A and B are shown apart, each in its own frame.
Chain A
Amino acid sequence: DAGVTQSPTHLIKTRGQQVTLRCSPKSGHDTVSWYQQALGQGPQFIFQYYEEEERQRGNFPDRFSGHQFPNYSSELNVNALLLGDSALYLCASSGRDFFNEQFFGPGTRLTVL
Chain B
Amino acid sequence: AQKVTQAQTEISVVEKEDVTLDCVYETRDTTYYLFWYKQPPSGELVFLIRRNSFDEQNEISGRYSWNFQKSTSSFNFTITASQVVDSAVYFCALIGGGTSYGKLTFGQGTILTVHP
Contacts and interface: CB of A to CB of B under 8 A. Distances in A.
Interface of A: 31, 33, 35, 41-45, 48, 50, 55-56, 58, 88, 90, 92, 98-99, 101-107, 109
Given A50-B102, A92-B104, A99-B97, 11 more contacts: A42-B91, A43-B45, A43-B91, A45-B105, A55-B101, A58-B103, A88-B43, A101-B50, A104-B44, A105-B44, A106-B42
Contacts of A41: 108-109
Interface residues of B, number: 27
Nearest to B2: A45
Contact of A98 (B4, B96, B109): B96
Contact of B106 (A43, A50, A101, A103): A43
Given A98-B97, A99-B33, A99-B97, A90 B45 contact: yes
